Amino acid sequence: MSRPSCSHCLRPQSHCLCAHIQPCHNQHPVLIMQHSSEQQHAKGTALLAYQALAKAELIIGESPDDFQQLKQRVLSQPEAFALIYPSPLSQAIENQVTRLNKALSANKPLQLIFLDGTWRKAKKLWHLNPWLQHITQFHFAAPPEGQYVIRKTSIDKGLSTIEAIAYSLQVLENLDSQPLLKALAALKQQQLAAIPEAYRHRYNKQKATSG
């Protein structure tokens, strides 16, 4: 029999994180394309970000058919969107702050798209949805050190989804990212507590993953 879950954070009631989710009033709308394999992952962070952010959408799938409505919105107005993903065409987001702030001051903030999943799954989302290549793409030139040590990654300086969102909004609109990072910290501590103490030290040496 499955354990009863919280209707809000969708985690088991014994591991509910709602008390750690504080509201963040972001100005740039956040759109999270979550790979379907990530939906039930206990270590995923996208749902925490979605629940905390005032302006956010979480869309689950893999193929263009799964994201049909978003695809139509993007292709009808590609200049209104930006993808946060280190593609071959991406630019350092830190170098575009002045230009993006002008759009924000004109009340036309970019809608930011994030790919949620392991790096392999995020890359799959990128390749299966070539319509994403029609919009501006950004990567991080100087990201903070990832704190999500409970998921492995082969990507240097990889961040979890909630960390990537927090850093993007901090750079673009000077958002106080602490509510997002505190929710991540609560999830991390919860997961570490479930690991036998004899093995817990291994996770202090790991870097974060996209997830």
Domains of the chain: which residue ranges? Answer: 22-194
Q: Residues 124-160: pLDDT tens digits?
A: 999 999 999 999 999 999 999 877 655 555 555 678 9
Contacts of 159 (CB under 8 A, 6+ apart): 140, 143, 144, 146, 148, 167, 208, 210
| pLDDT score of 146 | 79
In the chain the beta strands, taken as DSSP E runs, fall at 30-35, 56-61, 81-84, 91-92, 111-116, 136-139
**Residue 173 scores a pLDDT above 80:** yes
Stronger pLDDT, 21 or 12, i.e. the higher one: 21
| pLDDT score of 205 | 47
Q: Name which of 21-25, 141-145, 150-154, 181-185 the model is least confident about.
A: 150-154
**Alpha-carbon distance 12 to 97, whole Å?**
40
pTM for the model: 0.84
188-207 mean pLDDT = 59
Contacts of 135 (CB under 8 A, 6+ apart): 74, 78, 79, 81, 82, 83, 113
Stronger pLDDT, 129 or 2, i.e. the higher one: 129
pLDDT band with cut points at 50, 70 and 90 for residue 21: confident
| pLDDT score of 3 | 66
**Alpha-carbon distance 75 to 22, whole Å?**
33
**Residue 174 scores a pLDDT above 80:** yes
| pLDDT score of 203 | 55
